[in-house]
Structure 1
Amino acid sequence: MTLTTSISPCLWFDDQLEQAAEFYTKIFPRSSIGHLARYGDAGPGQPGTVMAGEFTIDGMTFRGINGGPMYAEFTEAISFSIACSDQTEVDYYWDSLVDGGEESMCGWLKDRFGLSWQIVPNRLYELLGDPDPARANAAQGAMLQMRKIVVADLEAAADAVD
């Protein structure tokens, strides 16, 4: 049996799908807005407004619907994690996504649409996996105090136990 299944996240918005797709596709490389289905005269929505659509963020396809306010509140139970190669990438994604949103702790933020993101430098995992438990614990302690993860501060905390 050959399966041709693909899995895509589907995000429920009140009425901001088009704005969200534009926001995300400007931030990430290899991104684009696909088909947006609009309400016609017969639909329950305002004719011409977006009902549902598809967009790609860094090569990953997302679907979205403007389903009204009943489920339009995102929670931290679902988040998207961005693995960053260095502090420059952390700063770029953090600053871009938190614009109009809010910071949280340990590399988490909510964007202007309320969607949660984790902006994580690869170096964090390296330090948390340090074979010296004292260094790993020091890096973890530093991370737990941060909003945006700062690699130099993690390294300084780990190096301070040597």
Structure 2
Amino acid sequence: MTVTTFFWFESAAEEAGQRYAEIVPNSRVLGITRQADGSAFIVDLELDGQRVTLMNGGPGHPLTDAASIQLIVDTQEELDRLWDALVEGGAPGPCGWLTDRFGLSWQVAPSVLMQLMAGTDPAKTAAVAAALRSMSKIDTKTLQDAYDHA
């Protein structure tokens, strides 16, 4: 059995797949199934080990933030690089979410966020949650400061 995340695009699956493979480390386009006219129909890619399929299916099924790709990173530098590249031509959202130029939603979050939110002190985790809600792109220092000073 193979489990693959699948997204329906109107017509930009090939461009999106190429861009995602360039932005996300350890990623590549695995293959493109073309229609009779040469245009891409199915784009198979691997994003850091995760299989993803993009399909050009035409209009009628727009992408929404009900489905997203989550990237958990270890450093602020990597978070900044990924966020800035993915949000280019798209729109920032709250709490580390963004919509890219193709309409796909992403969450770019630091691994430290999960550690801070899993803490046993309710006041500290509440302070981290409040700090997170005030952000679009996540700043790890701000989260750590909220935790440390709660």
The equivalences for 1:70-85 within 5 A come to 70-71=60-61, 73-85=62-74
Task: Report Cα offsets for 1:21-44 as digits up to 9, x if no partner.
Answer: 11101011222222212222xxxx
Task: Report Cα offsets for 1:40-92 as digits up to 9, x if no partner.
Answer: 2xxxxxx1211223122112222222110111x11111111111112112111
Structure 1 residue aligned with 2:58:
68
- The answer to whether structure 1 residue 104 and structure 2 residue 118 are counterparts is no
Return structure 1 stretches of 4+ with deviation > 4 angstroms: none
Measured in 1, the distance between the counterparts of 2:52 and 2:116 equals 32
TM-score (norm 2): 0.93
Measured in 2, the distance between the counterparts of 1:51 and 1:129 equals 42
Amino acid at match of 1:55: L
Structure 1 residue 132: Cα displacement: 1.8
Amino acid at match of 1:52: I
Structure 2 residue aligned with 1:51:
41
TM-score (norm 1): 0.87
SS of the residue corresponding to residue 77 of structure 1 reads coil
Structure 2 residue aligned with 1:32:
28
Structure 2 residue aligned with 1:20:
16
Measured in 1, the distance between the counterparts of 2:128 and 2:5 equals 32
Gaps of 5+ in 1: 41-46
Amino acid at match of 1:59: G
Task: Report Cα offsets for 1:89-123 as digits up to 9, x if no partner.
Answer: 21111111111111000111111111111111111
Amino acid at match of 2:2: S
Measured in 1, the distance between the counterparts of 2:41 and 2:72 equals 32
Gaps of 5+ in 2: none
Measured in 2, the distance between the counterparts of 1:89 and 1:16 equals 26
CA RMSD of aligned residues (A): 1.2
- Counting matched residue pairs gives 150
Measured in 1, the distance between the counterparts of 2:124 and 2:50 equals 36
Measured in 2, the distance between the counterparts of 1:147 and 1:90 equals 12
Structure 1 residue aligned with 2:103:
114
Structure 2 residue aligned with 1:88:
77
Measured in 2, the distance between the counterparts of 1:157 and 1:30 equals 33
Amino acid at match of 1:8: T
Amino acid at match of 1:69: P
Structure 2 residue aligned with 1:44:
none
- The answer to whether structure 1 residue 151 and structure 2 residue 147 are counterparts is no
Closer, same or farther: CA 158–53 of 1 in aligned 2, 3 Å: closer
- The answer to whether structure 1 residue 125 and structure 2 residue 114 are counterparts is yes
Structure 1 residue 159: Cα displacement: 2.1
